Amino acid sequence: MKRFILAIASASLLSCGLANAADMAVKSRPIPVPPCAQFGGFYAGGNVGWGYGEHRFRDLDGFGPFAGFFLPNEATRSSDGFVGGIQGGYNWQSRCTVFGIEADYNWANVGHDEVFAGPLGFATLAASSQLKNFGTIRARTGVVVDNLMLYVTGGLAYAKTERSVALNIPILGISEGFSSDKTRLGWTAGFGSEWQVAPRWSIKSEVLYARFQREETAFTCSILCAPARGVRFEHESSAWVTRIGLNYQFGGGSYRAY
């Protein structure tokens, strides 16, 4: 009987020792480190940067009797200025590959005013184009190396632009023209990087090119044209934007620490 009791006690002690050893082995396993930073989930942030815009206008009908006298029927001008705005989106991440959708809205101060003068300044043609705001809705896809995501992006763009064209005869105090304020659609493409600097926080840098629909504006020339007739102008706009931004991640956001 004593031998039986001793055998049971020995088996119990042995099983407890094995269980404790297994538990210690499990507890001693290191926590796995993700192979790269995690950008999955919703995010939002802001950005600032610089824009470079190009505007081309073309006189389709010959504006007034002076349009052919050394005043341009076509011209292309460029300008640059400050841009800044907000962005937000969602990322899907599989290991170190990311696919996402991002939308942004930006205020801009990119525009120019140009005056073309004829012989002796008898007639002048004034043209103005001002980019007031723009936005994009884009897909993004990229790879993550350590804490840095490198990506390409492209999609839909839109912009609100104020334009005006006026033919002036200063000596006679006569001016005739038009102004317009429209939002035009277009497309955009670019590339960028996003660096996760802390859990849920990342800094981004991005370069985008955007091109917008051709726009035709028209008005009735009645003062300088005899008889009165319609006059049409065609406009084309494009822009380069380079910017930096800060994002906060609401989901995901695992930070690869060193």
Look at residue 31 in the predicted model and tell me its pLDDT.
54
**pLDDT one-digit tens code per residue, 109-146:** 998 888 887 777 778 888 888 999 999 999 999 999 99
Find tokens 């031998």 and name the residue: 3
Which has more pLDDT, 8 or 151? Answer: 151
Average of per-residue pLDDT across 209-220: 88
Q: Among the residues of the chain, which ranges form H helices?
A: 2-27
- C-alpha gyration radius of the chain: 32
**pLDDT one-digit tens code per residue, 160-202:** 998 888 888 888 888 888 888 889 999 999 999 999 999 899 9
Distances (CA, A) of 139 to 100, 128, 152, 156: 6, 33, 8, 9
What is the CATH architecture assignment of 38-249?
A: Beta Barrel (2.40)
Domain locations in the chain as residue ranges: 1-30, 38-249
3-state SS class at 227? coil
pTM for the full predicted model: 0.79
**pLDDT one-digit tens code per residue, 75-109:** 888 889 999 999 999 999 999 999 999 999 999 99
